[in-house]
Chains A and B, each alone.
Chain A
Amino acid sequence: MSKTVSYGTAFDTLKPEAFASVLRLVDGPLGLTWQHSSITADYLGEFYALRAAAEGLEYNMVRHSIVYLVNELLENALKFRAPGDIEIATALADGGFEIVVSNVITTATAEKFGVLLAEITSRDPGELLIERIEANAADENSSGSGLGLLTLMNDYGARLGWRFEEQAGSELTRLQNYAALDLRA
């Protein structure tokens, strides 16, 4: 049996009755590049903001929040992934937006990421954000890892969750990253 480890908000598959979409960024002959995060984020932002506006939510705010969220999650997926597709399941229901980004990473990357997640899910994100920025500024070589997730939690009130599933017989782990935003806020 493969080992599963979770952090943050518990999540399930997205509500099937919601206004939803599933996109797959295929790691084909043309490859996946940095630009795929912004293109996909812009597309999903527009797609859901139009629908949300029809339900009485504020178009500009909804569009921006979704674009920022999707862009950050996809930047992470593109930065840390092992070769393979990236699946993006999204849904809009009851004034809230939900997303699950799924891709494979090496088990070594998964272990490092797990340490970071254990820390950022155990403390107040606002305090931790400021602490991490200070630590980053003091260290020229620091990559600022985790800051994107902390801005989502602190500035956008996003609820985030992660599930790591080791793939039996390989050095790969499937990572599912969940996020939920209240668009009425």
Chain B
Amino acid sequence: MEIKTSEYRVWGEGATIHYEGTMRLSGTAAYAPILDLMQETLATKPPKVILDLTELEFLNSSGINLLAKFTIDVRKQPTVGMQVIGSTKIPWQSKSLPNLKKLHPAVELTIV
């Protein structure tokens, strides 16, 4: 499971989904393949889904909406936990990721 362009790469590794690069796609439809990849991981119902964003330098608001939408999908699965790992070096993560906890307080948000 991998989606790769010259600007970004998203891939799954067990229950962890890794994101790398700069994502500025034009809207919900353009992000659909990425949401599909994330939902494939969720469909395996692991104890915990991990989103590793530590290499995702930039994400536009449509992409932030994608993470929010996925967080709500995880919330509907009471047996599946969720951890989001970000980096203090990437400013958007400290600014926008706390919104995911508002949507689903059980989200474990780790910004290192």
Contact = CB atoms under 8 A, between A and B. Distances in A.
B77 interface: no
Nearest to A144: B65
B68 A60 contact: no
Interface residues of B, number: 24
B73 to A, nearest CB: 8
Nearest to B72: A137
B95 A137 contact: no
A155 B61 CA distance: 11
A79 B95 CA distance: 25
B60 A147 contact: no
B92 A64 contact: yes
Contact of B61 (A64, A137, A142, A147): A147
Nearest to A65: B91
B80 interface: no
Contacts of B4: none
B39 interface: no
Nearest to A155: B95
A136 B65 contact: yes
Interface of B: 22, 24, 26-28, 58, 60-62, 64-65, 68-69, 72-73, 89-92, 95-96, 99, 102-103
Of all A-B residue pairs in the complex, the 8 with the closest CB atoms, nearest first, are A148-B61, A64-B91, A155-B95, A137-B72, A133-B68, A144-B65, A137-B69, A155-B96
Interface of A: 34, 37-38, 60-61, 64-65, 67-68, 71-72, 75, 79, 129-130, 133-134, 136-137, 142-144, 147-148, 151, 154-156
